[in-house]
């Protein structure tokens, strides 16, 4: 079974008085098997974030279909989205909360019952136990980013999507995030990450799809792809 299946996906952003319409996806097909560590590689503007934002329900597609964990995003949007944890590209900090509160609020948002919550476990796994009760606004950028990963996991999704997880991140944090993502994948979580660094995709991913100008131009197991580059 597949974690994600995208067929003929299209997106044209409506223009405005100042900007013309912009086509970001031109018939994208993508199949991501359950359990894989899948990399979506491509230069800025290729359409990676648009694809992820459509899966996450943040952007409306203009054509095609998508299924997440077997659920069609049009017919069963809630069930489809419940299977996803998404770590956005920009740091979104809850300035008035502590990390623990932030996770509890997120769990409440997803309707996770109190006995199934595991805030402490997530905070520990991401090295945030010491800061559990500090204000999020006082955390370093790296800690905020790790908190975003923890938040994406509160409802125990079988799929974790990370949009440019290590853009603008220092070497140490990159290593930490990579190690943690590997551990999650080893525990069975399907990972989809976007990156414009070949090195990152190569290091982490078992399969790589390359996007360019709104199209998937290659999709292969990593060793095969590297042999052709
Ligand atoms: P839409 O209504 O087409 O979904 P948004 O509301 O997301 O567009 O964005 C409004 C406007 O902001 C767009 O028409 C576009 O001009 C601009 N914009 C936002 N993000 C980008 C981007 N990544 N690249 C280019 N333009 C952007
Ligand atoms: P990537 O994540 O690979 O850098 P994006 O999906 O952000 O690519 O962008 C794909 C194309 O769509 C780019 O040409 C970008 O300028 C455009 N775009 C993205 N978001 C918007 C938006 N909200 N409005 C208009 N154009 C956008």
28-53 pLDDT per residue, tens: 999 999 999 999 999 999 999 999 99
Identify whether the C-beta of residue 168 lies closer than 8 Å to the C-beta of residue 160: no
Residue 47 alpha carbon to ligand 2 centre in Å: 6
Residues lining ligand 1, CB < 6 A?
13-14, 16, 19
Ligand nearest to the CA of 28: 2
Terminal Cα distance for the chain, rounded: 30
pLDDT at 96: 87
Identify whether the C-beta of residue 26 lies closer than 8 Å to the C-beta of residue 33: no
Q: Is the ipTM of this complex over 0.95?
A: no
- Residue with the smallest CA separation from ligand 1 atom 21 is 13
pLDDT at 93: 76
Ligand nearest to the CA of 53: 2
User: In angstroms, rounded to a whole number, what is the distance separating the alpha carbons of residues 88 and 98?
Assistant: 19
Per-position b or e across 184-210, b if 16+ CB within 10 A of its CB: bbeeebbbbbbbbeeebbbebbebbbb
- Residue with the smallest CA separation from ligand 1 atom 23 is 45
- Residue with the smallest CA separation from ligand 1 atom 22 is 45
pLDDT at 210: 97
Taking only the tens place, the pLDDT of each residue in 85-142 is: 999 988 887 878 999 999 999 999 999 999 999 999 999 999 999 999 999 999 988 8
pLDDT at 170: 87
pLDDT at 92: 80
Q: How many CA atoms lie within 13 A of 200 on its CB side?
A: 24
Taking only the tens place, the pLDDT of each residue in 135-162 is: 999 998 889 999 999 999 999 999 999 9
Residue 138 alpha carbon to ligand 1 centre in Å: 31
The full length of the chain comes to: 229
């Amino acid at each position: 079974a597949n974690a994600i299946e995208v067929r003929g996906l299209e997106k044209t952003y409506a223009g405005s008085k100042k900007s013309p319409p912009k086509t970001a996806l031109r018939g994208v097909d993508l199949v991501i098997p359950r359990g894989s560590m899948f990399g979506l590689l491509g230069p800025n503007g290729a359409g990676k974030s648009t694809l992820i934002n459509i899966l996450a329900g943040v952007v409306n597609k203009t054509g095609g279909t998508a299924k997440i964990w077997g659920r069609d995003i049009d017919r069963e949007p809630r069930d489809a989205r419940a299977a996803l944890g998404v770590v956005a590209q920009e740091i979104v900090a809850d300035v008035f909360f502590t990390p623990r509160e932030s996770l509890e609020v997120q769990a409440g948002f997803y309707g996770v019952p109190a006995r199934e919550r595991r805030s402490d476990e997530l905070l520990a796994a991401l090295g945030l136990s010491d800061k559990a009760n500090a204000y999020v606004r006082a955390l370093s950028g790296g800690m905020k980013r790790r908190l975003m990963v923890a938040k994406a996991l509160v409802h125990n999704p079988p799929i974790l999507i990370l949009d440019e997880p290590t853009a603008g991140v220092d070497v140490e944090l990159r290593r930490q995030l990579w190690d943690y993502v590997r551990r999650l994948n080893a525990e069975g979580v399907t990972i989809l990450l976007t990156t414009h660094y070949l090195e990152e995709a190569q290091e982490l991913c078992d399969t790589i799809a390359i996007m360019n100008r709104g199209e998937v131009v290659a999709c292969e197991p990593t060793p095969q792809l590297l042999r052709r580059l």
